[in-house]
Amino acid sequence: MKFLFFFTLLFLPNTSFAYLDPGTGGGIIQALLAFFGAIAFYISYPFIITKKYFRKLKEKIFKKKNEFDQK
């Protein structure tokens, strides 16, 4: 393992000839915002569906209760 580490340090170049233009930072920020937005949506979506289900159930129960009270 040590041999591989030293081989990498000695024989592979340690310089990178990469260019990041100013728009790259904006793209990275946009990708991060989209990622966290998608996570927030997929975490909250089941709660929204569950809330709608219980709201409809509650309305149905109260509707039947009101019909029963009027008779």
Name the 3-class secondary structure at 12: coil
Counted domains in the chain: 1
Higher pLDDT, 12 or 71: 12
Q: Which range has the top average pLDDT, 4-8, 38-42, 56-60?
A: 38-42
In percent, the amount of the chain with pLDDT more than 70 equals: 87
Per the structure, the complete domain to which residue 38 belongs is given by: 2-70
DSSP assignments along 46-61, one per residue: HHHHHHHHHHHHHHHH
pLDDT digit string (tens) for 15-47? 777 777 888 888 999 999 999 999 998 998 888
Q: What is the pLDDT of residue 15?
A: 73
C-alpha distances out from residue 27 to 18, 35, 39, 49, Å:
16, 12, 18, 33
Higher pLDDT, 29 or 66: 29
Q: What is the pLDDT of residue 71?
A: 59
